[in-house]
Amino acid sequence: MTGSNLDDCSSCKACELASTRQSVVISRGNPNANLMLIGEAPGAQEDAQGVPFVGRSGRALDQLLRDVDLDPEHDLYICNAIKCRPPNNRRPIKAELAACRSWLDLQLEAVDPKVIVLTGATAVEAILGIKGGMTQLRGQWQSWNERAVMPIFHPSYLLRNPSKAAGAPLDLTRRDLATVQQRLCEPCSASN
Ligand code: SF4
pLDDT tens sequence across 17-53: 999 999 999 999 999 999 999 999 999 999 999 999 9
pTM of the model: 0.94
Q: What is the CA(66)–ligand 1 centre distance, in A?
A: 31
pLDDT tens sequence across 90-142: 999 999 999 999 999 999 999 999 999 999 999 999 999 999 899 999 999 99
Q: What is the CA(97)–ligand 1 centre distance, in A?
A: 8
pLDDT score of 1? 46
User: What CA–CA distance (Å, rounded) separates 76 from 116?
Assistant: 9
Site residues for ligand 1, CB cut-off 6 Å? 9, 12-15, 17-18, 24, 82-84, 96, 99-100, 103
Domains in the chain, start-ordered, CATH in brackets? 20-184 (3.40.470.10)
Compute CA 105 distance to the chain's CA centroid, rounded to the nearest angstrom: 13
Q: What is the dihedral of CA 175, 183, 54, 9, to 10 degrees?
A: -140
Q: How far apart are the first and last CA of the chain?
A: 32
Sheet strand arrangement including 142-144: 28-29, 77-80, 35-39, 115-119, 147-152, 142-144
